[in-house]
Amino acid sequence: MLAMNYRGPFRVRAEQKPAPEILHPEDAIVRVLRSCICGSDLHLYHGLVPDTRVGTTFGHEFIGIVEDIGPGVKNLKVGDKVLVPFNIACGKCAFCKQELFGNCHESNPEATAVGGIYGYSHTAGGFDGGQAEYVRVPYADVGPVIIPEDMDPDDAVLLTDVVPTGYQAAEMGGIKKGDTVVVFGAGPVGIMAAKCAWLFGAGRVIVIDHIEYRLDFVRKYAQCEAYNFRSMEDPVVFLKKTTDWFGADVCIDAVGGDAAGNAMQTITGRKLMLQAGSATALHWAINSVKKGGIVSIVGVYGPTDNLIPIGNVVNKGITIRANQASVKRLLPRLIEHIRSGYIDPKAIISHRVPLEEVADAYHIFSAKLDNCIKPILIPPSARQ
C-alpha cells in the first residue's frame, strides 16, 4: 500500500509498504478515505519528539471504511464508514473508565505519561498512522464511531482531533458567561478553541498569533478579535491594557513547542533542543491571565523540561489544566453542534493534496505557504 514515510527532520516521502494486519482480536483494518496533517505532526516533522523512528507513518486524524475485523470486534462490521479518534483507548483501564480516553494505560509501552496515539512516534506507542491507504485500528469497539449518514466526510475527519481538542481547550478553561478568553495560536486548534469559547458564553475572545492570513481567517471564522504579536512591543502588556489592566479570565495555549516570538525560547527550545520546545505561548499565557485565572494547555510539548514562570503560577494563584483531548467523550455533543450549525469544521480545510504529494503538503503547512490553514491528504484508493 502507499503510505507516508518519515525519513528524518523535514524529510518525508510517499512510498509502498506492507499493508497492516490484524494483530489482536479487537483490531480492525480501516481503508483510509481522508487523513489530515495536524499542527502537532509538525513537531514530529521538525524532529522535536524523541523516539521518532525513520520509516514510520504519521497521521492521527483519519476516517475510512472498515475492511477487516478481528474475532473480538462486536460493534463494527466490514463496510462501516468510521471516524477514528486519535487516542487509542482500551475502555477498561481505570483511566478509560473515567473517560480519560487520552490517558489509556493499555495502549503505550514506551511511555506512561501519554496513551497510544496513531502515527505519533514510539513515545506514543509506535503505531503506524493514517497518512496511508490502510491503517490498523486497535480496540475497534472502543474508539471508532460510525459516521452519521447526514455528516459530510470533511466534517467527520476534523472530529477526530481538531474540533474536540479546540473544544476541550475551551472546556478546560472553565469559562463563565462574560469571561475574556485569550487564545494563543491561530492554527487549526486555536481557531477552533476561539470558536468554541463562545459556546461556553465568553464575553470577549482574543486570538494572538503572528501570521497575518491566519489572523484574518480567525477574525471572520470565529467572529473574534485577533492581533499580531509582532506589531506590539510586549503582548503581555498589550493584553493587560486591553483588559483594563486586570488580565484575561482564561488563557489558552494552542501553540505548544513550535512557538515563535521569543529569541531565547526559540534558540533553546527549537534550535538547540535544550528544552522540550519553545514555551513562549505558555509563558505569555501565565503572565497574561488574571490572578486566580485559568490557563488551559492543549499545545503539544516534548517530554523533557520547559522554561516557564512557575513562580508566577504560585503567586497569582493560577490553575493550570491540560490534557490530550478525550475525543470519544466529546463526540456526541460535537456531532450535535455541527448539526445545529454552531461549528462548521470543514471551512478550515484549505488544501486537498494527493497522498503521493505528501512531502509538498508537509512543506506548505510547515512553512505556512499559500495561505495554508489545514491540509488533508487523499489516498489514491479513495480517489477512484
Site for another protein in 310-369 (CB under 8 A): 319, 321, 323, 326, 333, 337, 340-343, 359-364, 366-367, 369
Q: Which of 79, 150, 177, 272 binds another protein (CB under 8 A)?
A: 177
* CA 56/CA 186 separation, integer angstroms: 28
Footprint of another protein on residues 251-280 (CB under 8 A)? 273
DSSP H stretches of helix in the chain: 39-45, 94-97, 153-158, 162-172, 188-199, 212-221, 235-242, 263-265, 280-288, 310-316, 327-339, 358-366
CB of 292 to another protein, least distance (A): 12
Q: Output 77 or 97, the one with its CB closest to another protein.
A: 97
* CA 92/CA 333 separation, integer angstroms: 22
Q: Which of 216, 234, 263, 303 binds another protein (CB under 8 A)?
A: 303
Q: Which of 40, 160, 165, 168 binds another protein (CB under 8 A)?
A: 168
The region of 151-159, 199-207, 232-240, 260-268 touching another protein under the rule CB under 8 A is: 199-207
Cα dist from 49 to 32, 41, 68, 194, 264, whole Å: 25, 10, 32, 27, 20
Q: Quick one: residue 14, left, alpha or beta (phi over 0 = left, psi -120 to 50 = alpha)?
A: beta
Per CB under 8 A, does 160 bind another protein? no
Per CB under 8 A, does 50 bind another protein? yes
Per CB under 8 A, does 67 bind another protein? no
Site pattern 109..138 for another protein (x: CB under 8 A): xxxxx--x-----xx-xxxx---------x
Per CB under 8 A, does 292 bind another protein? no
Q: Quick one: residue 273, left, alpha or beta (phi over 0 = left, psi -120 to 50 = alpha)?
A: left
Cβ atoms of 249 and 179 closer than 8 Å: yes
What cell numbers appear for 58 in the block? 504519521
* CA 91/CA 85 separation, integer angstroms: 13
CB of 267 to another protein, least distance (A): 17
CB of 12 to another protein, least distance (A): 6
Footprint of another protein on residues 207-226 (CB under 8 A)? 223
Q: Output 237 or 369, the one with its CB closest to another protein.
A: 369
3-state SS of 110-142 is: CCCCCCEECCCCHHHCCCCCCCECEEEECCCCC
Largest CA distance in the chain: 62
CB of 46 to another protein, least distance (A): 12
Q: Output 135 or 236, the one with its CB closest to another protein.
A: 135
CB of 19 to another protein, least distance (A): 13
Q: Which of 40, 57, 87, 324 binds another protein (CB under 8 A)?
A: 57
Q: Output 236 or 334, the one with its CB closest to another protein.
A: 334
CB of 363 to another protein, least distance (A): 2
* CA 175/CA 182 separation, integer angstroms: 11
Q: Output 148 or 201, the one with its CB closest to another protein.
A: 201
Q: Output 105 or 240, the one with its CB closest to another protein.
A: 105
- Computed over its alpha carbons, how large is the radius of gyration of the chain? 20
